[in-house]
Amino acid sequence: MATTQPDPEDLTARARIRDAALLQFGEHGFERATIREIAKAAGVSSGLVRHHFGSKQELREACDEFMYRTVRKLSDQARAGLVHGAFGDLNHLAAARAVLLPYQNYLARALADGTAAALFDQMVDITEEWLARADEKRAGAPPAASRKARATVLTAMAMAVPVLHQHVSRSIGADMFTPEGDREVAYALIDLYSHALITPDDAATARDALDTVWSKQPPADRDAVIRAFEEQNDD
Amino acid sequence: MATTQPDPEDLTARARIRDAALLQFGEHGFERATIREIAKAAGVSSGLVRHHFGSKQELREACDEFMYRTVRKLSDQARAGLVHGAFGDLNHLAAARAVLLPYQNYLARALADGTAAALFDQMVDITEEWLARADEKRAGAPPAASRKARATVLTAMAMAVPVLHQHVSRSIGADMFTPEGDREVAYALIDLYSHALITPDDAATARDALDTVWSKQPPADRDAVIRAFEEQNDD
DNA sequence: ACAGTCACTACACACGCGTATAGCGTCCTG
DNA sequence: CAGGACGCTATACGCGTGTGTAGTGACTGT
């Protein structure tokens, strides 16, 4: 059986610890994961973890930075081989996904609890570049929000599927890390990205409505809020 | 100064504990939040928390169920007052947002770590109904993915902004829970939802490319994967 | 040959945590 | 007026955890 990853035996102890931490943090979360268990998984003593990383928090930061470097390397690779197909090179995308797959859980948790800021910002930058090219071909009215804001929200949306992968898998009835589930999710994503969900008219209406809500606080909201609260105090 | 929420003094001790737990879990996460701190915030002894909820885990489950009931009530309200404007009633949406605002952090964390499954599934159901109506007006080729799958992915996307709110706020340079940040995010969302990001042709190309990837594992991927790994083992 | 550094281990400490238990006052019920 | 159920507190226990420290062997430069 061929290993797609370098033999863990070939890595330095420090790298093995980081790798084990990535996996343990990803599986159990930062708090529940223990230094002793990470050490055991890496085949070292718990003291060595402290020796190399100082503290659990610093170990986490090392993990974050490793992921940041990994994603950066991946995106540089993709950028270098760009101007290929319709939207980036699908081979690079597939490669990136394959590389990140074992760390998916860590990535999801890190993003969700607010660490890995540099990593997110980096993804926003990538998205913003992509959006700049998309805007050139864009027809109709100019965007109502800044490119940065749109890139940010779009990045968050793109991360939603990995971050909420447990729910996504359960809801579609297939593990999204198997080919079947993956296909279903990818097709759904392509469909959603290639169709506008609301019409430009609806969009204008929504913007107007929001402007009204923001300018004067409509009393209807308050009533609904209070009613909702009163009704739910039934325990 | 008017309180938008019912006076905490009016709630039963049990409700106050649950409320405090929701806030503490939301702010610090389930593991870091302590029963003692929750009890202090609720103005009771830590023993009472155990008396009412049995264990920390059961307290969490009670919180999840409370959020589930809250969202359900909110969606029932919205459903009852539906058939109004372009897409649901914006007043109800605003009210729901106002009600959920204090629990945003809890919701985000619960979703991210895979609990609150019932809550997510409920949201998928709501999205699926919405999608069914949208599909009626849909032009062009029929969807390539099941409605359930599209609703699932769309729900995940919709939750992305609240779940990753820390990153979103930082990236747009304004707290998304203040009017300024909220407006920027909402406008970005409306813009993204009202414009197709890729053309139907691109979509077809992407599907073909994915089918190729899935049918025969192209060696280019493996190479890229291994190259990426080799290059990043530099620490 | 020798001192020093470094990767690494074993062991112990202190502390915060969830949990358990005993007890107190109050209110309802027969 | 007993008596039990209930809401609630105070206090203690035990365990797992991150962290600290002392020590060992191997390799290195002088």
Q: What is the DSSP string of A193-211?
A: HTS-SS-HHHHHHHHHHHH
Tokens, residue B182: 């909220």
Range with lowest mean pLDDT among A117-121, B6-10, B11-15: B6-10
For B152-199, the pLDDT digits (tens) are: 999 999 999 999 999 999 999 999 999 899 999 999 999 999 999 999
- Which residue from B144, B135, B124 is spatially nearest to A183, judged by alpha carbons? B144
- Which residue from B51, B210, B70 is spatially nearest to A228, judged by alpha carbons? B70
Cβ neighbours of A179 in B, within 8 Å:
214
Rounded to an integer, the average pLDDT of B200-217 is: 82
pLDDT at A75: 85
Query: Is B176 within 8 Å of B169 (Cβ atoms)?
Result: yes
Residue A142 is given by DSSP the state P
pLDDT at A138: 84
Residue A161 CA to residue A104 CA, distance in Å, equals 11
Other Cβ atoms within 10 Å of B208 Cβ, number: 11
Query: Is B135 within 8 Å of A195 (Cβ atoms)?
Result: no
Residue A227 CA to residue A115 CA, distance in Å, equals 37
For B91-102, the pLDDT digits (tens) are: 777 788 889 999
Q: With a 7 Å cutoff on the CB, does A212 touch strand C?
A: no
Mean pLDDT of chain B: 85
Query: Is A162 within 8 Å of A107 (Cβ atoms)?
Result: yes
Residue B126 CA to residue B122 CA, distance in Å, equals 6
Query: Is A89 within 8 Å of A81 (Cβ atoms)?
Result: yes
The residues, ordered by sequence, that sit 6+ positions from A86 with a Cβ below 8 Å of its Cβ are B198, B201, B202, B205, B206
For B35-51, the pLDDT digits (tens) are: 999 999 999 999 999 99
For B105-161, the pLDDT digits (tens) are: 999 999 999 999 999 999 999 999 999 999 998 888 899 999 999 999 999 999 999
CB contact under 8 A, A195 and B196: yes
Tokens, residue A176: 């999204």
Residue A66 CA to residue A116 CA, distance in Å, equals 10
Q: How far is CA B153 from the centre of its chain?
A: 12
- In this prediction, what percent of chain B has a pLDDT beyond 90? 63
pLDDT in 10s for each residue of chain A, 235 residues: 333 444 455 679 999 999 999 999 999 999 999 999 999 999 999 999 999 999 999 999 999 999 999 999 888 887 776 555 444 566 777 788 889 999 999 999 999 999 999 999 999 999 999 999 999 988 888 999 999 999 999 999 999 999 999 999 999 999 999 989 999 999 999 999 999 999 999 899 889 888 887 775 554 554 554 454 455 444 4
pLDDT at A231: 52
Confidence grade of residue B217 (pLDDT, cut at 50, 70, 90)? low
Distance B81 CA to D19 C1' (A): 58
pLDDT at A81: 66
Q: With a 7 Å cutoff on the CB, does A81 touch strand C?
A: no
Rounded to an integer, the average pLDDT of B78-106 is: 75
Query: Is B80 within 8 Å of B89 (Cβ atoms)?
Result: no
CA A122, A34, B117, B99 torsion-angle sign: negative
Query: Is B160 within 8 Å of A160 (Cβ atoms)?
Result: yes
Residue A53 CA to residue A20 CA, distance in Å, equals 13
pLDDT at A93: 78
Query: Is B226 within 8 Å of A214 (Cβ atoms)?
Result: no
Q: Return the higher-pLDDT residue of B62 and A224.
A: B62
Tokens, residue B31: 């593991």
CA A169, B67, B108, A195 torsion-angle sign: positive
Closest-CA residue of chain A to B11 = A233
Cβ neighbours of A160 in B, within 8 Å:
156-157, 159-160, 163-164
pTM: 0.86
Tokens, residue B209: 């490319």
Distance A37 CA to D14 C1' (A): 21
* Helix and strand totals (H; E) in chain A: 12, 0
Q: Name residue A150's amino acid.
A: R
pLDDT at B235: 46
Distance A114 CA to D19 C1' (A): 26
CA B156, B162, B168, B172 torsion-angle sign: positive
Residue A147 is given by DSSP the state H
Detail the protein residues whose CB sits closer than 7 A to any atom belonging to strand D.
Answer: A 33-36, 46-47, 50, 55-57; B 12-14, 44-48, 51-52
Query: Is B193 within 8 Å of A196 (Cβ atoms)?
Result: yes
- Which residue from B33, B153, B68, B175 is spatially nearest to A191, judged by alpha carbons? B153
pLDDT at B124: 96
pLDDT at A86: 47
Q: Which of B130, B187, B226, B234 to mutate to test the interface with A (most CBs of A within 10 A)?
A: B187
The full length of chain B comes to 235
Confidence grade of residue B86 (pLDDT, cut at 50, 70, 90)? very low
Other Cβ atoms within 10 Å of A232 Cβ, number: 15
Distance B89 CA to C10 C1' (A): 66
Residue B166 CA to residue A125 CA, distance in Å, equals 17
CA B54, B58, B60, B66 torsion-angle sign: negative
Residue B234 is given by DSSP the state -
